[in-house]
Structure 1
Amino acid sequence: MMRHPRLWMGLLSCSALSQAQAAWNVNMRPGVTEVSRSVFDLHMTIFWICVAIGVLVFSTMFWSMFAHRRSRRPQPAHFHENTRVEVLWTVIPLLILIAMAVPATRTLLHIYDPSEPDLDIQVTGYQWKWHYKYLGEDVEFFSNLATDRNAIGNQAPKNDHYLLEVDEPLVIPAGVKVRFLVTAADVIHSWWVPELAVKKDAIPGFINETWTRVAEPGLYRGQCTELCGKDHGFMPVVVEVKAPADYAAWLAGKKAAVAKATAQAGKAWTLEELVAQGEQVYRTTCAACHQPTGEGLPPAFPALKGSKIATGPKAGHMNIVINGKPGTAMAAFGKQLSDVDLAAVITYERNAFGNALGDSVTPQDIHAFRQAQETGQGTQPAQPQ
């Protein structure tokens, strides 16, 4: 049926090439904020200045090679101590630098002006998640990678937002100036959302400022851009911009959830309820290091299956989960998880992976342990794993 196979192959190649060219975008994105568009315009201005300089320099070079080749002019031209030439190659670069410095300075002054914000959010980097705290609103939460671990292990298909999806995005209102106070709790991270033109290092012990104002609602994705450890590539940023009314409704819902969580701390939890919730907390918080099967990645990340911690006294188990283990990769989760989540995940670890102790740790146990620590009566060294 195909009487002209070469023609068909040529058409198919041209079609594939045009599609590849359409998808191949090597330039910056203009973004969705005034700052991001200013950055893009500055980038293009500098780019075309560099193109003009390149064309001028290479044109002069090629013309010189042609016009002054040995066959035409055996004696080279001399420009030593030529005042006119020296003035030109001093004044012209100076004018070019001024032309570049003026818009660059204007853009930088705009970027570094976080004054008079309408909303302050503290962004804290952890290995390997982000913590968002809405200052003055009594709302804070962690944002964790939501990509299926089976997809990461090539055991399930990857979706369009592979490694760029979270369980809880940062939510901000549209049309409002939002200031971000960026820091870190362990190592250096970097909070980056390209379409907002926001990129700021998160450094332990320091607070860096940046800001944004997004005019229209939307969903914008970014990543940590500072090599921060084993799961650096699994630390996405997702910012959801809502209309002011929708944002107010979301904020009210978060405050109601906080009140509900506070009430749940006094609830009488059954073993089954704690295990069910603990499994969710474990898969979000612990599975990256200790693996979904609890077998870990020894020696850096010990197994929980049959470990002396997960099958030993509850006090030692609570101590290492709440306070971490100095000198190892085991982080302290006392400030990262609520009493309910701590109790649930510890109960899950004691009854999963074949451990099956049949006991439980309640939120009241966690609260009592914290109080004992505050009075100096409950601290003890973590037991070996």
Structure 2
Amino acid sequence: MKRLTTLLSALVAMMSTNVFAEYGLNMTKGVTEISGDIYWLHMMVFWVCVAIAVIVFGAMFYSVFAHRKSKGAVAAQFHESTKAELIWTIVPMIILIAMAVPASKTLIDLEDTTKAEMTVKITGHQWKWQYDYPKEGISFISNLAQSSKDLVRDSESLISGATSMSKAEASNAESRAKNANYLLEVDNHLVLPSGTPIRFLITSNDVIHNWWVPAFGVKQDANPGFINDAWAEIPVGKEGTYRGQCAELCGKDHGFMPIVVDVVSKADYAKWVSKQQAAAVAAVASATKTWSKDELMAQGESVYNTNCAGCHKKDGSGMPPIFPAMKGSPIANGAAADHMNIVLMSYRLSCCWGKGSSESRRCSVSETSIPLQSKWQRMQTEALRILREPLSSVPREKKHRFRDEPTCLRLDKNIHVTGNLRSA
């Protein structure tokens, strides 16, 4: 009897939603109001299902035990029961309505972005995230941090047997792998202010991705050619770092495109915006800067590791035949003038390399009489104008041209612009 009392007490204690919130296999509660509503709805439906299971299985096991043949039970003989039919029709209907009403309210609240005070556009790429703040004129790419990329590369090399590691290197790799944020660090964090309703416009540049931050209650598909929206408001006092993941299988490095969000106070957010805007101005000004060879080498390594190494490997060996080797190729060993023309004047390398179509031919610039530096400055200025131009102000025919003829222009390691510059 004492054991039964202890068991029942433990079961009652487990019914607390706070206990379930801490349980590792249960849904997380989150920090936003909408995530709390979702969690409450989840637990309400869960307990309804538990109650139904207890009643149904309890009645079934009782019937099997109490009316077993060895006790001489005789089955009741009846043809129909209108009362029973009404009960098992009306009761489930009431239960479904009781669940549907709060669920519908939560879904309506989840989709209502009309109260948003700021907008962030999120674009999924293989395998990174691009964040644009249209009002603030800020845009950047968020990649898996280089430290995590090195760890992945070391692991792949060991598995393939291509390289060997010393005991010290292996120990260092193991300690990094045991880090709580293993493969969850990025180079550029999304920064959001607390106490502000924020609208997220979510899309994709290639395949289907999914932007998922459990603490915000946001999980939305990023579909190419479509824009899905969501919203979140992180309460004041809940500032901190929140993490998420791409939740849609999107290719080879699907597991390596994490999401890191820093929620800060409005005052700190204003400082961050000012800093980013100043950096963008400096980036434009750097177009006229005369770079030293060492500076160019360092910048080139950073850009390659961020944008190219995922497919073409850090050592340039690639993954033939899908991703050709850069090492030893005409791209790396060809004439310097041709290489500069590709880097400065064409689309992204992946758009043109090895193509023989009209799309490839548009990669080269025919206006050879204009110096490369002047062309670059003109393209950079026009690209920044397109980046900051509200979509609503773009003529309809130009929108279609942007959609049908995608062009990718790399301004620097932080700015991506899509659109056909010929149509401007």
Q: TM-score, normalised by structure 2?
A: 0.71
Aligned sequence identity (%): 49
Contact 1:192 1:223 (C-alpha < 8 Å) held by counterparts: yes
Say if 2:348 is the partner of 1:322.
yes
Which residue number in structure 1 is paired with residue 257 of structure 2?
A: 235
Structure 2 equivalent of residue 114 of structure 1: 113
Seen in structure 2, the aligned counterparts of structure 1 residues 141 and 84 have a Cα distance that, compared at 3 Å, is: same
Q: Would the alpha carbon gap of residues 36 and 261 (structure 1) be closer, same or farther in structure 2, given more than 3 Å must change?
A: same
**By how many angstroms is 1:61 displaced?**
0.4
Amino acid at match of 1:293: D
Q: Taking structure 1 as reference, are residues 307 and 369 closer, same or farther at Cα in structure 2, changes over 3 Å only? A: farther
1:210 to 230, 235, 247: 230
* 1:43-54 equivalence runs, <5 A: 43-54=42-53
Q: Is the 8 A contact 1:266 1:364 kept in 2?
A: no
Displacement, 1:89? 0.7
The offset of 1:365, in angstroms, is: 6.7
Q: Residues of 2 paired with 1:280 and 1:113: CA distance? A: 40
The 10-residue stretch of structure 1 (316-325 or 101-110) with the greater mean CA deviation from structure 2: 316-325
Among 300, 304, 317, which residue is 2:322 paired with? 300
| Kept after mapping to 2: 8 A contact 1:183/1:202 | yes
Please tell me the residue identity of whatever aligns with 1:269.
W
How many Å separate the matches in 2 of 1:150 and 1:23? 33
1:121-167 Cα offsets, whole Å, 9 max, x none, are: 11111111111111121111111111432322335232221121111
Task: Report the 3-state secondary structure (helix = DSSP H, G, I; strand = E; otherwise coil) of the residue aligned with 1:26.
Answer: coil
Of 243, 251, 260, which aligns to 2:273?
251
What CA distance in whole angstroms lies between the structure 1 residues aligned with 2:346 and 2:62? Answer: 73
2:32, 2:216 within 8 Å by CA — same for their partners in 1? yes
Which residue matches 1:271?
293
Q: Relative to structure 2, which stretch is displaced further, 68-77 or 135-144? A: 68-77
**Cα distance in structure 2, aligned partners of 1:144 and 1:43:** 33
- Amino acid in the other structure paired with 1:190: N
Q: Larger helix proportion, structure 1 or 2?
A: 2
| TM-aligned CA deviation for residue 367 of structure 1 | 4.5
Give the counterpart of 2:247 among 225, 229, 233.
Answer: 225
The whole-number CA distance in structure 2 between the counterparts of 1:324 and 1:283 is 15
Q: What CA distance in whole angstroms lies between the structure 2 residues aligned with 1:174 and 1:369?
A: 37
More divergent stretch after superposition (35-44 vs 267-276)? 267-276
Q: Which runs of 5+ in 1 are unaligned?
A: 1-21, 330-361, 372-385
Q: How far off its partner does 1:251 sit?
A: 0.4
Structure 2 CA distance for aligned equivalents of residues 24 and 40 of structure 1:
13
Q: Does the aligned pair in 2 maintain the 1:28–1:40 contact within 8 Å? A: yes
Written as runs of structure 1 = structure 2, the 5 A alignment for 1:1-385 is: 25-73=24-72, 75-146=74-145, 147-152=147-152, 153-154=154-155, 156=173, 157-158=176-177, 159-215=179-235, 216-312=238-334, 313-314=338-339, 315-316=341-342, 322=348, 324-325=350-351, 366-367=376-377
Distance (whole Å) between structure 2 residues aligned to residue 43 and residue 52 of structure 1: 14
CA change 1:206–1:63 in 2 (3 A) is same
2-structure distance, mates of 1:264, 1:317 = 16
Task: Tell whether the 8 Å contact from 2:138 to 2:276 is kept in structure 1 after alignment.
Answer: yes
- 1:151 to 1:363, Cα distance in 2 relative to 1, 3 A: farther
The structural deviation recorded for 1:66 is 1.5
Q: Please tell me the residue identity of whatever aligns with 1:80.
A: H
Unaligned 5+ residue runs, structure 2? 1-20, 156-169, 356-371, 382-424
**Deviation, structure 1 residue 116:** 2.3
Q: Deviations over 1:303-338 (max 9, x none)?
A: 111111222232346566625336999xxxxxxxxx
- The C-alpha deviation readout for 1:160-200, integer Å capped at 9, x for no partner, is 21121111111110000000011111111110000100011
The RMSD of aligned alpha carbons is 2.7
Q: Go from structure 1 to structure 2 and tell me whether the alpha carbon gap of 1:327 and 1:293 turns closer, same or farther (over 3 Å shift).
A: closer
| Cα distance, 1:73 vs structure 2 | 4.3
Partner AA of 1:256 in structure 2: A
**Mapped partners of 1:320, 1:128: distance in 2:** 22
How many Å separate the matches in 1 of 2:133 and 2:246?
20
> What is the CA distance between 1:370 and its match in structure 2?
7.8
Distance (whole Å) between structure 1 residues aligned to residue 327 and residue 77 of structure 2: 82
Separation of aligned partners in 1, 2:89 and 2:108: 28
Counterpart residue identity of residue 26, structure 1: L
How far the C-alpha of 1:77 sits from its partner, in A, is 2.0
Q: Within 1, Cα distance between the matches of 2:240 and 2:125? A: 26
| Aligned AA (1:169) | H
